[in-house]
Structure 1
Amino acid sequence: MTATPSIEILRFNTCGSVDDGKSTLIGRLLYDSKSLMEDQLEALQRSADLTGGGQINLANVTDGLRAEREQGITIDVAYRYFATPRRRFIVADTPGHVQYTRNMVTGASTANLSVVLVDARQGVTEQTRRHACIAALLGIPHIVFAINKMDLVDWSEHRFLEIRAEIEAFLPKLDAFRDVKFIPISALYGDNVVDPSRHTPWYEGPTLLRHLETVHIASDWNLTQLRFPVQWVNRPHRPTDPNLHDFRGFSGQLAGGIVRVGQKVLVLPSGWKTTVREIWTPDGIEPEAFCPQSITLVLEHDLDISRGDMIVDPEQLPGMSQDVQARICWMHTRPLLPGRKFLLKHTTQTVQAVVTSIEHRLDITTFEPRPAPAELQLNDIGEVRIRTSKALIYDGYHTNRMTGSFILIEPGTNATVAAGMLRPPQERAKLEYTDFVI
């Protein structure tokens, strides 16, 4: 029997200024692609009198909070799932208000693609630039600028090209995106969202859904450098299979590369070398596994390995240091001051950390750094230096988003106060006994 090939998953987020039509766009995508269930359609009809003036308001598909519906803005990040015969999608509807920039960072942190909406009447705003900048900092490789509400500017090609030129003028300063698309749309009426519009004969590109279905994302993962942060030591309790009586595996998600049975691997920070004996997946034992699969590795030797350790390729070592440099988005109302102590969660380990200095703050208007600020305020993006109680095993964020990202946690409240992107390590891991073989 031939196994059914898995359908690729695309994660994307929508962002932009307030009232640019982000929630309406997602509602239109789900509605026109026939991805809404009957109960969802009934709920939309019931809510029509509250927010739609007797008509279905597609924004209510994602704006689930009563405050969101009453104010007509998105506050929280809403996730929706839908599929077409070509691909499955996980979409995050992220807020547009500057007050909720931190929510946008959260929703976009795992995205393959970002859709930035621009109101054709308003053009490029500070939030347009801010969200494009954050998407670049987060390493999102694909970005779509959806010029929305084209029906309100009489489907003007000149207005579309004017906005496109203004965006293309600042994109080189970000130097991050591999793939940029501009699509004229009307989320309210569905033009160029799922179906091509008869109002834009001058536009020859794909519809938004067509682009989402066909954009190439297979190369977005780092498949060259093996990175396997150990999450759990797997020792089945009273296994039913007698062959698993002495089973000892290491479970987690592959953060990078490809692992194969028989492959030589190195365990950090200990420096022990061994060989992969078995690879367990949800489908059983396989000869190899790829990032970002969740797997269990069984090694040839019985080593002292615990949560937070990382299994890597001996020929491609990550960085390993207690002193790191990173860009962070500050998410707390209380400003960040140098010397504050936090918990830093990186891959599968949490360590104590102190922010030793703030190097600069990024000016969203000019994309230029402002050196040596006294503090970082809510939603500020800045460069910091951090000292940790235990060495981090990491890569630069733009090399590997999974091993190059972290969050800062306030110890007393357990609140997440910052999301961080690590700079590339200045030197790779140095081990006292690199050549030691069991």
Structure 2
Amino acid sequence: MTRNEFYGEVNFDGLIGMTHNYGGLSFGNIASANNKAKPASPKNAAKQGLAKAWHLARLGYKQGILPPQERPFLPILNKLGFNGNNQQLLQHAAQDKRLLANISAASSMWAANAGTISPKYDCKDNKTHFTPANLITNTHRALEAAQTTKMLRTIFCDEARFMVHDPLPNQSLFADEGAANFMRMSKSHGEKGVEIFVYGRDGFESYSGKFPARQTMQSFEAIARNHQINIDKTIFTRQSKQAIDAGAFHNDVVASANENVLFYHEFAFENEEALKREITQKCDFEPVFIRVDNNDVPIEDAIKSYLFNTQILSKPGERMTIIAPMECYETPSVKKFLDELITRNTPIGAVEYVDVRQSMNNGGGPACLRLRVIMDEADIKSIKARVMLDEGLYSDLVNWVDKYYPETLLPEDLGDFSLLENNYAALDELTKIMHLGANFYDFQK
């Protein structure tokens, strides 16, 4: 296979928005519930996310940035029967704090939920396929799908290289949470791989549990068909109900894959042994299974620390590096496991700790913040928007955050019209910084 200068994984991190707050909107997300109504710092949150992304860029990994969405999202209020100018619409929403919280959530920061991506190496038409997630389980997240679709089509605009599908139908049968429930294994990123779709429930079954199972089998079956993946290189497996009820609302809270490595908790899957057999059968390389026993890291510690929501990153000729949140360092069982892991004979040889506490407090670790896209150099060069992180873009974004972002924010502050005006001015400037084109956001039309 002919190679360009680069082929591999590009991480596109979601830039945390100005309405970042602890609204406690995500049922089943323990961190989100535990920090509900506490003061948040949008400025610190955005800077922490940018610092993590810039750190990886300086380490030599390809790194992109995705813009935040327009929030509060007033167009939905017109569809709900409210009328008036922007100030009047916001006043209507502010009369119901629950409604206001849902239309104001900065949850698009967790770009792992933006969609499911199959690299061209896996697809019959040799295009990279994207399906934006409909995220219908939670109201605040379901508002993201249309803007996510437009964003992906703006950035990945070369239709000869990329295919951005419409989101799946907004029906419970096709509930889709994106790449947070998707894994891919391959000998190296730029080669054909095996795509692993992890669902929480069969959409036709009567499901009951402590927390909802957000991803259906039917949604992933539809995505696999639309992405034109060879069925012989496709696996559908079920996340365990035990993990979901413990607070693993997405599979990436209890399992992760990178190239030939599957890194997972003992309680991650409904049928662990069957999954391992199928992976072994369908891979044309030797898979490495790194299982974390509950006796070593109780599932409560794994979820609290986001051990599996770390980023596992590859460089040619080097062992893999785990990028972990500081909470992993501060959780004794997890720290002990990671210290021992890098001494073992596995592909993982290093751990680095980063501070993303503002995101962690809302239930999103380092891996939640990024969307993984396998690309080559020509793919990257086809992007017209200014989203690939370099020193100039990093500096511009930090200065932009300093200019517009509030130091602190409480859920009750979201009804302040001056905050909305500030957000519009900021996003208008951001479209110019990132070369996103005219009328990227609804308010600009």
Interval of TM-score (by shorter of Structure 1 and Structure 2): under 0.3
After TM superposition, the score normalised by the length of structure 1 is 0.24
TM-score, structure 2 normalization: 0.24
More helix by share: 2
